[in-house]
């Protein structure tokens, strides 16, 4: 065989190798896209479970429901165990909000899903007792970026008005 035949064989081999690389990259991109969608679905399901479990806890426990109601009204008026329980309840709620906030910024939560969590956070922030708790404890334990976000939300919401419950 002369050298021109070897050049053609090498060119065909390079072409086949290039097609193989392109096919592998396409398959890898498809796999990454499918995996990203699975992660987003898992985050959504986890968020729903967290919220559902939290809400069920309050609904199923009349004593906790009473502490929740009184704490939302006036955190400073709670004493002893009630203060401790409300603070833990609020901390658990804000861990949920923080998780949603960070998952959104990582791209794992779509905007409409974040909208639901943000609306729930706004509901919490529209009570004097939660604002008192945030000032006393919550803001000190939050991640700096989430703390800034909540503080901006408080500024956006403005003073407590007729929406307080």
Q: Return the DSSP state at 76.
A: G
Residue 119 falls inside a structural domain: yes
Number of independent structural domains in the chain: 1
**Distance of alpha carbon 97 from alpha carbon 91, whole angstroms:** 10
Q: What phi and psi values does residue 159 have, to the nearest 5 degrees?
A: -65, 155
B/e letters for 113-147, b = 16+ CB within 10 Å, e = fewer, are bbeebbebbeebbbbebbbbbbeeebbeebeeebb
pLDDT digits (tens, 9 = 90+) for 91-103: 999 999 999 999 8
Mean pLDDT score, 13-26: 75
Residue 55's domain comprises 40-157
In this prediction, residue 165 has a pLDDT band, given cuts at 50, 70 and 90, of very low
| 156 or 34, greater pLDDT | 156
Joined together, the tokens standing for residue 44 give 């959504």
In whole angstroms, give the CA distance from residue 35 to residue 51.
24
20 found inside a domain: no
C-alpha separations of 152 from 13, 52, 70, 92, 115 in Å: 60, 27, 25, 21, 16
**End-to-end CA, the chain:** 90
Neighbours of 102 (CB within 10 A): 14
Question: Per-residue pLDDT tens for 102-132?
Answer: 988 888 888 888 888 899 999 999 999 999 9
Any domain includes 115: yes
59-77 burial: b if 16+ Cβ within 10 Å, else e = eeeeebeebbeebbbebee
pLDDT band at 41 (very low <50, low <70, confident <90, very high): low
Residue 139, token pair as written in the block: 């803001």
Query: Looking at the domain assignment, is residue 81 inside a domain?
Result: yes
Q: Please state whether the predicted TM-score (pTM) of the whole model is above 0.85.
A: no
Residue 144: inside a domain: yes
Chain centroid to Cα 118, Å, comes to: 9
More confident residue, 142 or 116: 142
Q: Residue 19 domain-assigned? A: no
Distance in angstroms (rounded) separating the CA atoms of residues 43 and 150: 21
Least confident window among 27-36, 62-71, 152-161: 27-36
């Amino acid at each position: 065989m002369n050298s021109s035949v070897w050049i053609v064989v090498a060119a065909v081999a390079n072409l086949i190798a290039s097609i193989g690389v392109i096919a592998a990259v396409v398959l890898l991109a498809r796999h990454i896209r499918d995996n990203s969608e699975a992660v987003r679905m898992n985050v959504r399901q986890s968020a729903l479970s967290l919220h559902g479990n939290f809400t069920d806890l309050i609904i199923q426990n009349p004593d906790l429901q009473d502490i929740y109601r009184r704490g939302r009204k006036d955190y400073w008026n709670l004493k002893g165990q009630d203060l401790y329980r409300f603070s833990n309840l609020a901390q658990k709620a804000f861990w949920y909000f923080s998780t949603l906030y960070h998952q959104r910024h990582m791209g794992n939560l779509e905007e409409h899903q974040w909208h639901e969590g943000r609306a729930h956070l706004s509901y919490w922030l529209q009570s004097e007792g939660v604002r008192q708790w945030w000032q006393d404890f919550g803001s000190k334990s939050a991640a700096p970026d989430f703390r800034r976000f909540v503080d901006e939300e408080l500024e956006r919401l403005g003073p407590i008005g007729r929406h307080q419950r």
